[in-house]
Each structure stands twice: as structure tokens, then as C-alpha cells.
Amino acid sequence: MSPDHKNHWRIAGFYFFYFAFVGMFAPYWSLYLKSLHFDVVEISILMSVQPVMRMLAPNVWGWLADRTGKRLLVVKLAALLGALSYLGVFLTTQFWGMLLVLGVMGFFWSASMPLVEATTLSYLGKHTAHYGRIRSWGSVGFIAAVLGLGYALDYIDIYWLLWSGLGIMLGILVFAYQIPHADVLAHHTDDQPIMSIVLQPPVLALLGACFMMSVAHGPYYTFYSIYLVEHGYAKSAVGLLWALGVVCEIGVFFLMPWLMRRYTLKQMLAVSFGCAVLRFLLIGWGVESLSLLLFAQVLHAATFGSFHAAAVALIHHFFRGRHQSRGQAMFGSLTYGAGGVVGGLLSGPLWQHWGAAAMFSMSALAALCGLLLTQWKLRVE
């Protein structure tokens, strides 16, 4: 049965505000931390707190959602506690205080997305090729935040970033209560322990490859904005470059039904990883050329857009029935969580001792490792 398109806005609104928060945090929070006079290692640690929480928290919340069968109630609770804990950023400018606040906030904020992903795919049923069209609203939210704040921060103090984050958190909370219910269909793997699925070679290859893609993006999400500003780019130009990548990502999301009819998910992943190798080499060694940076951002269509859509679809293929929430949670934890942590923590010392070009070359090498993993063991029946 086709999903009710009139309810798409309920899920789309959540994606919009959730990724608007990413659009506020990923490009600009490091600039706020720099304004507090933290050094590059301290910034890399603080910017890695969210990936740490994305590694730990989703498994806890995914287990709770599958155990209780109340997936949407868990989403609402996480959104409420995330908004409340965010208020702590107004109360501290010290390293340890900021570390604590970002840790608590990240534990709740990171809980909801894997559960919403599982809900969206259950809601779409046999029409999962249309996932990208709903998910694209998250990209629209990201663009709205990154462009609006990019221009605003050329004229207002970076402190106002905190208030924009609070407004976005309240938007997440409102739409957490709008997401429609979706039934979880029984599957023959329901009685199997989840580790019996995880330990299958194709699943391990997929998770390992996705982990490496997140390692590759760690330096980008931690230091890309500082890197550009230090090379003379205005904050508004930084915002435009971030936004260009996400505009291309939206295009790919809308093309996913067409792409999935013509190419396998494995083929889409291979192209995505290949583009990531090229993209990070261009960023690392071509920063003085705006045209090369523009082309590198266009490649975001593959390095995140097609990569994420194909990876989520494969996780949905491998983890069915009562394992859906924990499958998506495990994907988020091991890839965007653990991979982001490793990439983020490596980025500070790499830049400090060998420079930004070496740091982004490490990103390219990590993406190449992911490509080799997908070609070695990933099989989809």
C-alpha cells in the first residue's frame, strides 16, 4: 500500500530542523570555539563530542525502542531532553564545561535520527526509492542554516550562533510530536540475535566501508570552515561553499528512484567512494583555486548524497523486522559516530604537525580503503 503523501510533511519537517542544527553546528561551531580562544587540539576534541555520542547513544536508544515497541515515544523524549540540555551552552565558556554540555546534549540529540530513519523506511514500505525525496528536506534545512548564518556572521557577533541553535532545537521538538506512526512488519529473522546479522561478511564490509567514509569526512566537518577563513575566504563565501555541496546532494536525493532502477546499490557506493578520494585531494591541495573548491563541493552529491541513500537502503535490506531500529542505530554508531570520532580526533594533530594538505590527504586515503572494502566483500542478494 502506498504511503499517504499528505503526511510526508510531518517527517520532512523533522528532517528539516534536525539537519538545520547540523548546518549551524558543523560549519560554524568551531568558529565559536575559536572565539573562546581554544587551540586546535581542544577544538578537535570538542567537535568530536557529538560523533562520540553518535557512537554510543543510538545503540542505547535503539535497543530501548525495539524492546518497548514505542519508537516514536523514544524520539519525543530524546528531542525534549536534547532541547533542555542545549541550554547549558549559555552557561559555560570553559573547556571542561563545554565538553560536559556538548556530551549530554549530544547523547539526546543523536538518539532520534536512526529511529526516524527506521520509521521513514517502514512508513514508505515498498516505496523506499522515494526515501531521498523526504530526506532532501533535511538538506534544505542544512542549506537554510548554513547560508543564513554565513551571511549573518559577517555582520553580527558569533555569540548569536547560540540563539540560532536554540531556535532550531525547538523546531526539532515540535516536529518530533508530528511524525506519523508506522507499523513494523514481522520478519523471519526476528528470533535471531542481531549479532548473527552483523557478523555476516557483507554486513561487516558495509559497516567497515561506511566507517572509513566517516573517518574521511572527520577533518572536513571539524576544520573546513577554519581552513577556508585562514586562506582569506569570507564567512559568507564559506557558507556558500557548504550550501553548494548540499544543493548537489538534494539533486541526487531526487534522482535516487531513477538511479536505483539503473544501477545497483554496490555500484553507487563504489562511485561515491571514488569521488570522495578525488574530493579530499582537491580540498587539501587546491584551496587557493576557487574553481577547484567549487568542483570539490559538487562532488558532495556523491560523497554524502548517493553514499548515504545507498548505505541506508542496504542497512534496511540487511536488518528487517524487529531489528530495524537497532540496525539503523548500529549503522549510525559505527559510521557517523565512531568514524567521525576517529577522523575528528586525528585531524587536530595531523594539521598541527604536518599541515592541512596532509590532513585532507589522510581523508582521501580513508575513502580509498572504504572503496576497497566494498569491492572485496560486499554482496547483495
pLDDT of residue 147: 82
| Structure confidence at residue 323 (pLDDT) | 67
Burial of 330 (C-beta count, 10 Å sphere; 0-12/13-18/19+): buried
| Phi, psi torsion values for 199, nearest 5 degrees | -80, 0
- The total number of residues written for the chain in this structure: 381
In 3D space, the residue among 215, 223, 206 whose CA is nearest the CA of residue 342 turns out to be 215
Q: 188 falls in which pLDDT band (50, 70, 90)?
A: very low
186 in a structural domain: no
Q: In the predicted model, is pLDDT for residue 187 greater than 50?
A: no
Q: Could you report the per-residue pLDDT of 39-58, keeping only the tens digit for each?
A: 878 888 888 788 788 778 87
Q: What are the pLDDT digits (tens) for 61-114?
A: 777 777 777 778 888 898 999 999 999 999 988 999 999 999 999 999 887 887
Is residue 143 situated within a structural domain? yes
| Residue scoring higher pLDDT (183 or 348) | 348
Q: Please spell the DSSP secondary structure of 27-75, one letter per residue.
A: HHHHHHHHHTT--HHHHHHHHTHHHHHHHHHHHHHHHHHHHHS-HHHHH
What is the average per-residue pLDDT within 249-274? 89
Q: Which DSSP state fits 179?
A: P
For the chain, what is the domain count?
Answer: 1
Asked, for residue 41, whether it belongs to a domain, the answer is yes
**Average confidence score pLDDT of the chain:** 85
- Rounded CA separation 372/376 (Å): 6
Residue 54 sits in a domain of what CATH number? 1.20.1250.20
The verdict on residue 56 lying in a domain is yes
Residue 185 domain flag: no
The residue with greater pLDDT, 8 or 285, is 285
Given pLDDT bands bounded at 50, 70 and 90, which one contains residue 192?
Answer: low
Q: Extract the C-alpha cell encoding 70.
A: 514505542
The CA–CA distances, whole Å, from 181 to 58, 70, 177 equal 20, 10, 11
Question: DSSP letter string over 155-174?
Answer: TS-GGGHHHHHHHHHHHHHH
- The confidence score (pLDDT) of residue 70 equals 76
Residue 142: inside a domain: yes
Q: Higher confidence at residue 161 or residue 119?
A: 161
Residue 371 lies in a domain: yes
Which pLDDT does position 312 carry in this prediction?
A: 86
Does residue 196 lie within any of the structural domains?
A: yes
Residue pLDDT, tens place only, 204-214: 999 999 999 99
Domain of residue 123 covers 5-178+192-377
